[in-house]
Amino acid sequence: MDTRLHIKQKRIKAEQAVAVGFFVSILLGSVLLALPLSAADGQATPYTDALFTAVTSVCVTGLVTVTTALHWSLFGKIVILILIQIGGLGIMSIMTVFFLALRRRISLGSQKLLKESYNLGQMEGVVGLVKKIVLGTLTVEGAGAVLYACCLVPQYGLRKGVFMSVFNAVSCFCNAGMDIIGPDSLKPFVSNPLMNITTMLLIILGGIGFIVWWDILNFINSRRGANRRRNRQLGLHTKLVLIVTAILVVGGALLILMFEWSNSRTLGNLSVPDKLMAALFQSVTTRTAGFETIAQASFSDATALLSMVLMFIGGSPLGTAGGMKTTTAALVVLLVCMFIQGEESIVLFNRRISMSNVRTAVVIVSVGLTVAVTGTLLLTLAADAPFLDAAYEVVSALGTVGLSRGLTPHLPWAGKVIIMVIMYIGRIGPITLMLALVRKKRKKQQIQYPEQQIMIG
C-alpha cells in the first residue's frame, strides 16, 4: 500500500478531521512553547500560558496571557508564526501541501474530505483550489511584509525589522491579531498611513474569502483582450460578501466616529484625518483581526457594544477570518425582511436562496448566541469580572478576534480554560464541532405526522 493522504470516509468525517487536526496542532504547539528554549528569559513557561498561546495562535485569535513581543524568544516566536499559518490556512490545506511537496498522490477519499471541509459544491479541482489558496496566501503575505518593512526596518534595523514585518504580515492576513512590535500593539502607529492601510488591506483580503478572490479575478480577466465575455458576471456569493463587507466597514466607521469624536481617551485629541483613519481601522479590525491602534478599554460603552456586534459577525466563508460570517448575518436579516413582507422565499439579484441555507444560518446564529451568553455567564462567575469586560472577551474569543479590554492577562486558570474552549469553538465553528461529536444517524423512513400550530410571540 503506497503512502498517501488517505482517510476512510467510514471512519472519519470532514468535521472530525478538522476538529482533531486543530486539537493535535494545539497540543504539539503547547509542548514546544512550554520549553525553556521558547522563552526569552530561558525559563520554562507555565503550561497553562503555553497552552493558551498555542490555542490563540492556531485559532488565529490573538488574546494573550503573556506579551508576545517580550515573553517569547526567537524560537518561540517562530513556533507561534507557524501555528498562526496553520490556523489561517486550515489543517486540511496544510496536510495537502505537505503531501504534494512529498510528491504523494492525493487519494479520492481525501479529495472528498477536502471538498466537505471547504463546503464546496463539487469535488472537481479541489486540489487545484488548495494550490491557489496557498500561492495566493504567500503572495499577499509577501507583499504585506514588504510594505511593513518600509516602516519597520528604518526604525528597528534590517534583521529585526524584516522578521517583524514577516510576522505581522502573516498574523494580519490570517486575522490572528498577534504582533511582536511591543506591548502596545499598533498604538504607536495610530497616525501612520502606511501601517494602517497595509494592515487594513491584509485584514480585508484575508477576511473576504478565497472564493471571492478568484471570482473577482475571473471577472476582471473576462473584460480584457479580444475574448471579452460581456455576459460574465460576479457570482451571487461574491456580490453578497462585498456588499455586506462594505456596509459593515463603512457603517461601523461612521458610528465609531459619531460615538468617539469628542472622547479625549480615543479620537478626541487626534486630527480630523487621523480620526477618520482610526475609526476605519477599529471598524476593520473587529472583522476578527485583533490589532488595535486605540486601547479597547478607552472606548465608550456604545462603541464597545458596536464592536461586539461586528466581532460576532466576523468575516466571510472560506477565508482566514472567524465569526458567524457575513453571509450568515445577511441571510438572517433577509429572512426577517421576507417575513415582514409576507414573501415565501428570499430572492436576491434575481436568484432564489435555498431555504436549507437560511435554516443553517439561523442555527449558526442561534448556537453562536448561546455560546456567547453561556461563556459570558461562566467567565463573569469564574473571574469575578465586570459584565462588559467579560462579554467583550467572550465575543472576541468566539469570533477569533483577539481584541481585549485588558481582562485576559489577569484571568484565573478557570477563566483561561473558558476562553480557550470558546476560541477553539470559534475557530472550527460551533456547527462543525456539533457535527464532529454527533454520530450521523441512518435515514429512517419518513413519516408525515399531522400538522399543528402553537402560539408564539
Q: What angle do CA 178, 207, 397 make, to 5 degrees?
A: 50
pTM, two decimals, is 0.87
Q: Which three cell numbers stand for residue 381?
A: 462567575
Q: What does the chain come to in residues?
A: 457
Q: Give the DSSP per-residue string, 251-294.
A: HHHHHHHHHHTT-TTTTTTS-HHHHHHHHHHHHHHTTTT---SS
- Lowest-confidence region among 108-112, 123-127, 280-284: 108-112
Q: Which three cell numbers stand for residue 198?
A: 497595509
The pLDDT tens digits of the residues spanning 398-437 come to 999 999 998 999 999 999 999 999 999 988 877 666 665 6
Q: Which three cell numbers stand for residue 20?
A: 482533531
Spatial neighbors of 180 by CB under 8 A, at least 6 apart, are: 68, 69, 77, 163, 164, 167, 168
Task: State the pLDDT confidence band at 5, using cuts at 50, 70 and 90.
Answer: very low
3-state secondary structure of 344: coil
Report the candidate in 2, 19, 154 with the shortest Cα–Cα distance to residue 436.
Answer: 19
Q: How far apart are CA 141 and CA 154, in angstroms?
A: 20
Neighbour count for residue 438 (Cβ, 10 Å): 10
More confident residue, 288 or 259: 259
Highest mean pLDDT among 146-150, 227-231, 436-440: 146-150
Neighbour count for residue 158 (Cβ, 10 Å): 11
Helices 210-222 and 236-260, packing angle to 10 deg: 110
The pLDDT tens digits of the residues spanning 136-186 come to 888 999 999 999 999 999 999 999 999 999 999 999 999 888 989 888 889
Q: What is the pLDDT of residue 343?
A: 85
* Helix (H) or strand (E) run with residue 435 in it: helix 430-437
- Which residues are bridge partners to 106 per DSSP? 5
Residue located via cell numbers 490589532: 291
Task: State the pLDDT confidence band at 300, using cuts at 50, 70 and 90.
Answer: very high
Q: How far apart are CA 126 and CA 116, in angstroms?
A: 10
* Helix (H) or strand (E) run with residue 326 in it: helix 326-341
* For range 369-393, the mean pLDDT: 94
Helices 74-89 and 47-58, packing angle to 10 deg: 40
* For range 320-332, the mean pLDDT: 91
